[in-house]
Structure 1
Amino acid sequence: MSEYVLQTVNLTKKYKGIDVVKKVNMQVKKGEIYGFIGLNGAGKSTLIRLVAGLTYPTEGHLELFGENQSKELIHVRQQLGTLIENPALFPNMTAEQNLEVIRLQRGIPGKECIKKVLSRVGLENTGKKKAKSFSLGMKQRLGIAIAMLHEPELLILDEPINGLDPMGVVEIRELLKQLNEDHGVTIIISSHILSEVHQLATNYGFIHKGELIEQITANQLNEACKAHLLLKVNDANQAIITLEQKLNTENYEVMPDGAIKLFSHLENSTLVTRVLTESGLDIEQISPQGDTLEGYFTSLVKEVS
């Protein structure tokens, strides 16, 4: 069985001759929370609709749970749960009644699944309260409950935290972590708010103008953004000895090109410069590096624009 729940190969969608999604090669492994990041209009929703089978590719293909043929894709899409844009709710019905309608539509046997999913999303005590009286966060939770009713293996959420207040964001974030960690659900969450997804995702895909410009793990992203002093000197080995003996630090990393990332003494580059110079080293560069997550994404976009 494939380790990937989703792979796309040169996936392309054109509308009126314009590439909305362009030759996207995307991989999502089982058990990941995949943050799908892009500006509004970047192609996130279109790609999600392609994966969900709500529209069809102009070129390329996709593979779900190891299947890529049309008949097999129809079958394995039953393992998907999706929440695209705002959840479609019956406003004059309770949470339980909303889920009962969906259960009957999908032909899910037994009502036990309703109480189970309401408990998972924290709506088990809403009783006779109608959906129209729910907060935005509660409506999003109910939308996720609808997507989870048939216990899918892959949950795809399009901007689920958009418009939520800070408390609502925290609630949805904790819910998704629980679904992933306790129930093994793989999650793709699209957003244009990197700072919020950063507290959740294990992997990222960045899309811009329909093109997937980078895929990166959370650890790699954190490392890329980690604040440090970048040192370039004529003798890296001597510089390491100096850092350890004169500045009493081992908090550094030597890069393949011999440059050194120094993660301490960030506020005192003058001291670092003086100590290295006094040790007879020629300094080619010493500069603060690192970025905010938003800055990292902005830099990526500028590189491809």
Structure 2
Amino acid sequence: MNEDVLQTNQLTKIFKKSAALDKVDMSIKKGSIYGFIGQNGAGKSTLIRIVTGLAFPSGGTVELFGQSGQKEIVAARKRIGSIIEGPALFPNLSAADNLEAHRLMKGIPGKDSVARTLQFVGLRDTGKKKAKNFSLGMKQRLGLAIALLGDPEFLILDEPTNGLDPMGVVEMRELLKKLNRERGITILISSHILSELHLLATHFGIIHHGQLLEQLSVKELNEKCQQYIHIKVDDSGKAAAAIESKLETTDFEVIAGGVIKLYKYLDQPGKVSTLLAAAGLEIEQFMPMGEDLESFFTKRIGGVRHG
């Protein structure tokens, strides 16, 4: 279980003297779902294109399934399925004919794999309906089906839920969980929908301006996403002074709207509310809360300075 499916070492890509990737050391363990997080232009798609052979690095190395030699990498890529920059569909062909065309192009034996894969993604009953007439969700599932031809061990998905409605996002999430759970497929997924990644991924990588800032498991993420008491009163300044003097802590912050985030006394909320009431404050909101992945990501990239 500790085998690395993907490992990059000092991976670098230079475009016109600008580093799209800056000495990136990434590792993805077998059996994991790796959520790749970054703003537009952060380097996510560049790394994915290098791993899949659509671009070449300026420096550093890529290892796939423990292989780094040129011939071995080419062979290892046959164990990968991917959706990059949208699924490559033939718009005038049916779902089955799309898969059959891709099966033949890839030289994958066994025509029965087409029906089996369509069944898995829920498109077996689309008949002769052309792909151009599919909904966006159906097109994304057909793209996933194409990526699954040949039973890959590693699935790389670049924004697979982009543009989907909430139900389509849920359907894609459940499909990916099922692939990981039932087939043991390792998945690298980049997405802007951070709340969705938090529900799906087992590990995360945060990239910013070409630099991989951090890699962490979902357990480590949850530990770092601080819990706090959300407090809103009629006078936040008076409340802050009372907390600092009576509770003897400065481990809080006052944010927009006069809301106080108190990171201490999580196990003694009654003590805090009693103090505020005794200070003559009117409590409008008082509840335990915690940061989500989006808040953690925003704070993490906000702490990085680039000269």
Tell me the TM-score normalised to structure 1 length: 0.82
Contact 2:205–2:216 (Cα < 8 Å) also in 1: yes
Distance, in Å, in 1 between the alignment partners of 2:265 and 2:112 is 56
SS at 1:198 equivalent: helix
What percentage of residue pairs aligned between the two structures are identical?
56
Q: Report how many aligned residue pairs link the two structures.
A: 269
Cα distance per residue 1:256-275 (max 9 Å; x no partner): xxxx965444576244899x
Query: 1:90-145: CA deviations, max 9, x gaps?
Result: 11110000001011111111201101111111111111111111110110000011
Q: Does 1:27 align with 2:22?
A: no
After superposition, residues 52-71 of structure 1 pair within 5 angstroms as 52-71=52-71
Aligned mates of 1:263, 1:70 — CA distance in 2 = 54
Please give the alpha-carbon distance, in whole angstroms, between the structure 2 residues aligned to 1:137 and 1:266: 45
User: For the residues of structure 1 that align with 2:264 and 2:181, how far apart are their CA atoms?
Assistant: 34
Deviations 1:210-234 (A, max 9, x none): 11001111111122224236x99xx
Once residues 183 and 267 of structure 1 are traced to their aligned partners in structure 2, the CA distance between those partners, rounded to angstroms, is 48
> What pairs with 1:183-222 in structure 2 (closer than 5 Å)?
183-222=183-222
- Cα pair 1:34 1:204 within 8 Å, conserved: yes
Taking a change above 3 Å as real, the CA distance of residues 266 and 29 of structure 1, as seen in their structure-2 partners, is farther
The residue type paired with residue 205 of structure 2 is G
**What is the CA–CA distance in structure 2 between the aligned matches of 1:81 and 1:68, rounded to whole Å?**
19
Cα separation, 2, equivalents of 1:117 and 1:140: 14
Q: CA 1:267 to 1:139, structure 2 compared with 1: closer, same or farther past 3 Å? A: farther
Return closer, same or farther for 1:272/1:188 CA change in 2, 3 Å cut-off: farther
The residue type equivalent to 1:116 in the other structure is R
> Relative to structure 1, is the Cα distance of residues 214 and 189 closer, same or farther in structure 2, using a 3 angstrom cutoff?
same
Secondary structure, in 3 states, of the residue corresponding to 2:221?
helix
Gaps of 5+ in 1: 233-259, 275-287
Kindly indicate whether the alpha-carbon contact (under 8 Å) linking 2:265 and 2:272 is maintained by their aligned counterparts in 1: no
| Corresponding residue of 1:122 | 122
Matches within 5 A, 1:191-270: 191-228=191-228, 262-266=265-269, 269-270=272-273
In structure 1, distance between residues paired with 2:270 and 2:108: 60
- What is the aligned partner in structure 2 of residue 149 from structure 1? 149
**CA offset digits 1:56-91 (Å, max 9, x no partner):** 110100110000111100011100011002111111
Contact 2:157–2:189, Cα closer than 8 Å, also in 1: yes
- Could you tell me how far apart the structure 1 residues matched to 2:173 and 2:18 are? 35
Task: State the match for 2:281 in structure 1.
Answer: none
Query: Does residue 167 of structure 1 match 2:167?
Result: yes
**2:34 touches 2:189 (CA, 8 Å); kept in 1?**
yes
Match of 1:84 in 2: 84
Per the alignment, residue 94 of structure 1 pairs with 94
2:83 is matched by which residue type in structure 1? Answer: L
Structure 1 residues 78 and 268: alpha-carbon distance in aligned structure 2, compared to 1, 3 A threshold: farther
- Asked whether the 8 Å contact 2:7–2:62 carries over to 1, the reply is yes
- Report the aligned-residue RMSD: 2.6
Q: Which ranges of structure 2 fall in alignment gaps of 5 or more residues? A: 230-242, 245-262, 278-287
CA distance in 1, matches of 2:14, 2:41: 14
Which string of whole-angstrom CA distances, capped at 9 and with x for unpartnered residues, describes residues 151-175 of structure 1?
Answer: 1000000000111110110110011
**Residue 199 of structure 2: SS of its match in structure 1?**
coil
- Identify the residue that residue 256 of structure 1 maps to in structure 2: none
Q: Which moved more, 1:290-299 or 1:184-193?
A: 290-299
Q: Which amino acid letter does the alignment assign opposite residue 161 of structure 1? A: T
Distance in 2, Cα, partners of 1:113 & 1:179: 16
Residue in 1 that maps onto 2:283: none
Counting only pairs closer than 5 Å after superposition, residues 129-144 of structure 1 correspond to structure 2 as: 129-144=129-144
1: CA distance between counterparts of 2:36 and 2:87?
19
Query: Residue 36 of structure 1 contacts residue 206 of structure 1 at CA under 8 Å; is this kept in 2?
Result: yes
Alignment partners' CA distance in 2, 1:116 and 1:197: 27
